[in-house]
Amino acid sequence: MGRRRLAREIALQALYVADVAHTPALEAFAIVTRREGEEVDVETLDFARDLALGAIERVEKLDLTIQEQAANWSMARMAAVDRNVLRLAAYELESRPDTPVGVIIDEAIEIVRKYSTEEATRFINGILDSLKKLRDAKPPKKNARKKDAEG
């Protein structure tokens, strides 16, 4: 598994703990990064922390954005894993213009495939496909790099 995928999975786990157990962001991140016997490099942990804490900090805004695209599905009605994958991907789409949209969506789908159901992959893909249009409407930043392509 690539370092970026691992970071996204760690971030998802922190989002899940914060959401389901109503745990403060830093505590949720600390809980999921206490990994026995598994060394995670600093760069991976930094990326995971940025994603998790950023998404948790903006969860209300992200939920409104997601809710606009998820016709007939309230956030509370979604499976906890699915809503947190959506939050994570929506945050990354919004805050990481250096990461290609396709990479963010593909990573989200692979993570959903691992932690949720096959039906959820179609649901998540449909919502993220709508959310990517929000980024397309924004002007690209100058000197954006594609360093995330390695996975």
pLDDT in tens, 56-81: 999 999 999 999 998 888 999 999 99
Residue 149 has pLDDT above 50, yes or no: no
CB 125 within 8 A of CB 117: no
CB 74 within 8 A of CB 83: no
CB 93 within 8 A of CB 104: yes
Residue 150 DSSP class: G
pTM of the predicted protein model: 0.87
CB 103 within 8 A of CB 148: yes
Q: Write down the pLDDT at residue 150.
A: 46
Q: Write down the pLDDT at residue 38.
A: 72
CA atoms within 13 A on the CB side of 111: 28
Of 27-41, 105-119, 122-136, which one has max mean pLDDT? Answer: 105-119
List strand residue ranges (DSSP E) for the chain, in order: none
More confident residue, 82 or 142: 82
pLDDT in tens, 3-57: 999 999 999 999 999 999 999 999 999 999 987 567 889 999 999 999 999 999 9
SS3 at position 147: helix
Q: Where residue 137 falls among pLDDT bands split at 50, 70, 90?
A: low
CB 93 within 8 A of CB 131: yes
Class of residue 45 by CB neighbours under 10 A (exposed 0-12, middle 13-18, buried 19+): middle
Q: What CA–CA distance (Å, rounded) separates 76 from 65?
A: 14
Q: What CA–CA distance (Å, rounded) separates 139 from 18?
A: 33
The CATH architecture assigned to 3-139 reads Orthogonal Bundle (1.10)
